Structure formats: structure tokens, C-alpha cells
Copies of this chain bind each other. A is one copy, B any other.
Amino acid sequence: MVRVPMLKGERTDRIEALSDGVFAIVLTLLVLQFTVPDVPANRAGTELAGALADQLALLFSYLLSFFVVGIYWIVHHNLFRQIDRHDRLLLYLNLVFLLAVSFLPFPTELLGVYSTRLTWTLYALNVSLVGLVLTTLWWYADRRGFTIDAIDERTGALITLRGLIPPAVFLLSIGVAAVNLSVAFYVPFLILPLQAFWVRRYQSSEPRPEAE
């Protein structure tokens, strides 16, 4: 039988190259939402400061998105250090992940300009999607055995579940925004302590085969 190339591969370097490109561009495009204010040249000395201060609101969503994208680059970087094979579905999952990442500049600017329940909801949905798709990708790669040998079953599951915490927290923040929008902005800070707590609890409940 003619074996049509099966889109299975031994290496993931071009997946990483495309992803690094998208990450780098998204990180850099975020700054484009800031615009040089239009004040009369002869009054720039006095009026420019005020005009720039009006854009301070953009800074919160800019920094949040920069670190969300940056941290997901770190997570992607680490997951793909564990993944050394791929199939066609993994390529598609990575593409959907990049779709979610590359869409983020739009809700970021939206949130920077209008701080409403709607813009936070769109923003949090987008960030949740980023996390959910990457966790799905990892779960799939782990289940199909595309990971390097060093990853045992328990560690694979731990990483999967840890990866669900950020999307869960962002989805929670949408509910919080329905009650109090200002509080919702602080909900994402729950992510790091929750992940640390989860990893600790998981480790302490471990079977410990050699001990006893």
C-alpha cells in the first residue's frame, strides 16, 4: 500500500518555531494600542502629561496580557520540552492554541478602553480558552505517549490538573464580575497560590511505594 505521509513526526522544532513567532509578535503588538496624543506643539510641555495620563488605564490590561502571554510561553516551552513526537491532531490543537493567543490583543485593548462587565467577560473567556486548549493539548500528548520517557502517569495527571487552575479561576472571575467588577480584576491573583497548594497536596497524598 502507498503510505501517504502520515503527518506523524519525530521532532517538534517547527511547531515551536511557529509558536515562538506568534508569541513574539503578540507580545510586541500589545504596545500598538498606545497612541501618541494629539496636542498642539506649542502646548506639548504642559498638556502632554495629562493626555498621557488618560492612557494609564490601558497599562493595566497591557501588563496583564503581557504576563499572561509570557507565562503561557513559559508553560508551552516547558510542556514541549516533555513532548518529542506529534501527529496531525496535535498540530491542529497547537493551531487552535495559537488562535486563542493571537486573538488576545483585541480583548486586551477593548478592556483597556472600556472597563465593563462585558469587556472583562470577553477578556477572561479568551484567557480561559488559551489555558483550556493548552491543557487539552498536553493531556492528549500525554495520553498518546508523545511525551519523553521520564514522565510517569502520576506526573502527567498532575500537570494536566494544574493546567486547569488558571482557566477555572478566570471563569470564576466572570461570575465575580457579575457581582462586583472591581473585585474581578484581582481574582487572577488566586492562580499562583492555588497551583502551589495543589502541587503540595498532590505530593503529600502520594502512594510512596518504597517507604513503609
Closest chain-B Cβ to A59's Cβ sits at a distance in Å of 10
B contact residues around A22 at 8 Å (CB): 24, 27-28
The stretch among A12-20, A127-135, A171-179, A183-191 that forms the contact with chain B is A12-20
Closest to A77 in B: B14
In the complex, whether A143 has a CB less than 8 A from a CB of chain B is no
- From known contacts A28-B26, A45-B118, infer whether A4 and B98 are also in contact, taking CB-CB under 8 Å: no
On whether the beta carbons of A21 and B25 are closer than 8 Å, the reply is yes
In the complex, whether A197 has a CB less than 8 A from a CB of chain B is no
Q: How many copies does the complex hold?
A: 4
A14 to B24, CA, bound (A): 11
In the complex, whether A99 has a CB less than 8 A from a CB of chain B is yes
A71 to B15, CA, bound (A): 13
B contact residues around A63 at 8 Å (CB): 99
B contact residues around A117 at 8 Å (CB): 45
Closest chain-B Cβ to A183's Cβ sits at a distance in Å of 17
In the complex, whether A139 has a CB less than 8 A from a CB of chain B is no
Q: Which of B70, B102, B109 contacts A30 (CB 8 A)?
A: B102
In the complex, whether A29 has a CB less than 8 A from a CB of chain B is yes
A19 to B36, CA, bound (A): 26
On whether the beta carbons of A116 and B48 are closer than 8 Å, the reply is yes
| 8 A Cβ contacts from A93-152 to B | 95, 98-99, 102-103, 105-106, 109-110, 113-114, 116-119, 152
Q: List 24 A-B contacts (CB under 8 A).
A: A1-B203, A2-B155, A2-B203, A4-B155, A4-B159, A4-B203, A5-B78, A5-B81, A5-B155, A5-B159, A17-B20, A18-B23, A22-B27, A24-B24, A27-B102, A31-B105, A44-B116, A48-B116, A48-B119, A49-B118, A66-B102, A73-B95, A74-B91, A77-B91
